[in-house]
């Protein structure tokens, strides 16, 4: 038997396996655009019909008069009675008070943003840093910035739009973080308004939103 017989079989099997893999990948890619991914995400299965007061630091209310400018706090929303569920990444949001140069010095709801912390690239959790690179000139350090530790995606705290890293290379709506609408009561406490989980409204966690 020729010494080349077994290598030839191996090459044919390898080629056959590769073709099978490519066929399977083609099938997946064919149907991917038609999958309603929102049905698999937690926020689409949760109906929140009433506004919710924002709680930080174990129950303290977030208040426009005491929340420091250019800082952030993690918010769990929607919050359940189950501590295990509350650890879900898709319930994790970042409440940001903008830097002064972005309007964060005004004691009103306009100084705040509440974004999903799920990065739009591969669903790692990003973090807010009080000082970050200028989105127009990364060599300059200004304002604040949302930064994902996994692959370096950077988010503009003013809009939630990715301006650096792999998330910035994704087309709309997958380049802008879902955002919740806020209001302040007469005491200055911040409340989350009932969201609309839609790409043209608050967005879909893990997928993004269109920015008008």
* H or E element in which residue 96 lies: strand 92-97
pTM for the complete prediction? 0.77
Q: So what's the pLDDT on residue 38?
A: 45
Q: So what's the pLDDT on residue 30?
A: 45
Q: Which residue has the higher pLDDT, 105 or 141?
A: 105
Strand partners, 201: none
- Side-chain half-sphere of 172: how many Cα atoms within 13 Å? 8
Phi-psi region of 199 (alpha: psi -120 to 50; beta: other; left: phi over 0): alpha
Indicate if the pLDDT at residue 142 is higher than 50: yes
Question: Mean pLDDT of all residues in the chain?
Answer: 84
Task: Please name which of 130, 149, 144, 210 lies closest in space to residue 178, comparing C-alpha atoms.
Answer: 210
Alpha-carbon gap, residue 105 to 97, rounded angstroms: 9
Indicate if the pLDDT at residue 118 is higher than 70: yes
Q: Which residue has the higher pLDDT, 190 or 28?
A: 190
Percentage of the residues of the chain whose pLDDT score is greater than 70? 77
Q: Is the CB of residue 202 less than 8 Å from the CB of residue 180?
A: yes
Q: Residue range 164-179: average pLDDT?
A: 97
Indicate if the pLDDT at residue 172 is higher than 90: yes
Q: Is the CB of residue 189 less than 8 Å from the CB of residue 51?
A: no
Q: Is the CB of residue 42 less than 8 Å from the CB of residue 88?
A: yes
- 132-133 and 127-129 as β-strands: parallel, antiparallel, unpaired? unpaired
**CATH number of the domain located at residue range(s) 37-192 in this protein:** 2.102.10.10
Q: Give the model's confidence band at 185: pLDDT under 50 very low, under 70 low, under 90 confident, else very high.
A: very high
Q: Is the CB of residue 101 less than 8 Å from the CB of residue 131?
A: no
Q: So what's the pLDDT on residue 16?
A: 60
Q: Is the CB of residue 132 less than 8 Å from the CB of residue 119?
A: no
pLDDT tens-digit series, residues 44-66? 555 567 999 999 988 899 999 99
Q: So what's the pLDDT on residue 137?
A: 79
Alpha-carbon gap, residue 120 to 74, rounded angstroms: 18
Taking the domains of the chain in order of start, what are their residue ranges? 5-34, 37-192
Alpha-carbon gap, residue 6 to 161, rounded angstroms: 55
């Amino acid at each position: 038997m020729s010494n080349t017989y077994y290598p030839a079989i191996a090459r044919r099997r390898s080629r056959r396996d590769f073709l099978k893999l490519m066929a399977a990948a083609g099938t997946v890619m064919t149907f991917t655009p038609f999958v309603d991914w929102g049905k698999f995400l937690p926020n689409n299965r949760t109906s929140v019909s009433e506004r919710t007061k924002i709680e930080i630091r174990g129950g303290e209310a977030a208040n426009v008069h005491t929340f420091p400018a250019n800082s952030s706090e993690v918010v769990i929303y929607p919050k359940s009675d189950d501590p295990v569920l509350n650890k879900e990444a898709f319930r994790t949001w970042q409440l940001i008070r903008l830097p002064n140069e972005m309007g964060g010095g005004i004691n009103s709801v306009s100084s705040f943003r509440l974004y999903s912390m799920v990065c739009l690239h591969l669903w790692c959790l990003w973090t807010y840093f009080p000082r970050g690179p200028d989105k127009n000139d990364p060599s300059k350090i200004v304002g604040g910035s949302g930064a994902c530790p996994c692959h370096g995606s950077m988010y503009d705290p003013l809009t939630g739009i990715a301006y650096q890293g792999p998330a910035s290379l994704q087309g709309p709506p997958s380049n802008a973080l879902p955002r919740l609408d806020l209001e302040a009561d007469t005491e200055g406490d911040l409340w989350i308004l009932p969201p609309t989980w839609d790409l043209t409204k608050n967005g879909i966690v893990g997928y993004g939103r269109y920015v008008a």
